[in-house]
Amino acid sequence: MIKAIKLRQFRNHHSLTLEILSNRIFIFGENGLGKTSILESIYFASLAKSHRTTSDLALIEKDKPYAKMSVKTTKHDYEVVISETGTKAFIDKKQISKLSEYIGGYRVIMFAPEDLELIKGQPAIRRQFLDIEMTQIHKPYLFTLSKYKQILKQRNALLKNLTLKDDMTFFKIISEQLSIEADAMIEKRMKFIEKLNEAFKSRFKDFNEIDNVRLEYQPNVALKTLKQVLNDKKDKDILSQTTSFGPHRDELLFYFNERDAKTFASQGQQRLMVIALKLALLDIYDKEDLDTVLLLDDVLSELDQDKKQKLLNKLPLKHQTFISGVDVIEMKDIQKIELKKENSDGQFKQ
């Protein structure tokens, strides 16, 4: 459970300290005061990455040399410092040299308005979702993923300097190594999606008992076949100078009443699907007995009163939940934190 959050020169928060006193926290105030940034900092301090940008430097307050976020939990103190020299992570003031060893000290699940891109956006967004959630649940997946990416990078670099007439001995070795890691990834993804799909269907029924939803994992190549595919398609890869097949091109599809949700579900229905998906992740985390922080950014604004109440009623007591919004909500045992603009120099107060 998070006990305190301290931000220094992070986004529009020059200096902010929040004492967290409850398992349910509602952060509210006018737009532009940095509600989303607080949730983003909790996310970043867990995963060492933002859900909003791929540039860590974009998180630093304008014209400042660094940004720092500190999250104190009941077990450890987590701190991340971003500067032009890189991103450094600390646990209990001890620097962790490898981010892979830092990630997941406490686990986060986040809903943000841009998460609708999980349904509407490109396949890369869905693959990233898979990878982030799976690394939090199953640490060995992170090492498999990292090894696959490393070998894929080596193979692609080799392809840029290879011709059809060159000796293929080393190229075949690299391809075989890639296929071994690929099979491990595909197997883990299949098992994960099978669990997630059942929880996803059930969670969606909490909001909508009439319609049906489901997920479908589509591997780019079938399990145990990548080695042969890479061999058969090596000429194509050499000419295109990139690896055309493998888990880095997998797809995850969302279905609404057995039709592609991207086309046939309304934006409101897509929103409910994504909310159900994030709550389904909590169900999986529960089965793995993993403590998790749930972050809900502006989740209530586009829900009607019935759906809003159903969501609030379904929030788990076991996991700490942070909600951001403009309008005050009434809920039992919830800590309310109002952000107010203090003065013209851009600082804020609780």
What tens digit of pLDDT does each residue of 147-162 get?
A: 999 999 999 999 999 9
Q: Is 348 within 8 Å of 16 (Cβ atoms)?
A: yes
Local structure of 302: helix, strand or coil: coil
Sole residue written with tokens 């169900």: 283
CA distance 262 to 175: 34
Instruction: Determine the average pLDDT of the residues in 279-285.
Output: 91
Instruction: Determine the average pLDDT of the residues in 113-129.
Output: 95
Local structure of 268: helix, strand or coil: helix
Residue 342 — very low, low, confident or very high, per pLDDT cuts 50/70/90? low
Distance of CA 58 to the CA centre of its chain: 18
* Residue 50 identity (one-letter amino acid): S
Reported as a single tens digit per residue, the pLDDT across 48-97 is 999 999 899 999 999 999 999 999 999 999 999 999 999 999 999 999 99
Q: Identify the pLDDT of residue 313.
A: 87
Instruction: Determine the average pLDDT of the residues in 179-193.
Output: 97
Task: State the CB neighbour count (10 A cutoff) for residue 292.
Answer: 23
Instruction: Determine the average pLDDT of the residues in 114-118.
Output: 95
CA distance 134 to 221: 20
Q: Identify the pLDDT of residue 344.
A: 35
Question: Shortest CA distance to 172 belongs to which of 157, 155, 156?
Answer: 155
Question: Shortest CA distance to 72 belongs to which of 36, 19, 9?
Answer: 19
* 3-class secondary structure per residue, the chain: CEEEEEEEEECCEEEEEEECCCCEEEEECCCCCCHHHHHHHHHHHHHCCCCCCCCHHHHECCCCCEEEEEEEECCCEEEEEEECCEEEEEECCEEECCHHHHCCCCEEEEECHHHHHHHHCCHHHHHHHHHHHHHHHCHHHHHHHHHHHHHHHHHHHHHCCCCCCCCCHHHHHHHHHHHHHHHHHHHHHHHHHHHHHHHHHHHHHCCCCCCCEEEEEECCCCCCCHHHHHHHCHHHHHHHCCCCCCHHHCEEEEEECCEEHHHHCCHHHHHHHHHHHHHHHHHHHHHCCCCEEEEEECCCCCCCHHHHHHHHHHCCCCCEEEEEECCCCCCCCCEEEECEECCCCCCEEC
Question: Shortest CA distance to 46 belongs to which of 71, 65, 81?
Answer: 71
Question: Shortest CA distance to 104 belongs to which of 81, 85, 76?
Answer: 76
pTM of the model: 0.91
Residue 104 — very low, low, confident or very high, per pLDDT cuts 50/70/90? confident
Question: 1-5, 97-101, 139-143: which range is least confident on average?
Answer: 97-101
Local structure of 20: helix, strand or coil: coil
Q: Is the dihedral of CA 104, 140, 250, 149 positive or negative?
A: positive
CA distance 347 to 344: 8
Q: Identify the pLDDT of residue 348.
A: 46
Domains of the chain: 1-106+291-350 (3.40.50.300), 116-289 (1.20.1050.90)
Residue 290 — very low, low, confident or very high, per pLDDT cuts 50/70/90? low
- Cα–Cα distance list, 38 to 83, 237, 251, 348 (Å): 19, 44, 32, 12
Give yes or no for residue 216 having a pLDDT over 80.
yes
Give the chain's length.
350
Instruction: Determine the average pLDDT of the residues in 332-344.
Output: 79
The tokens for 156 are: 């692609």
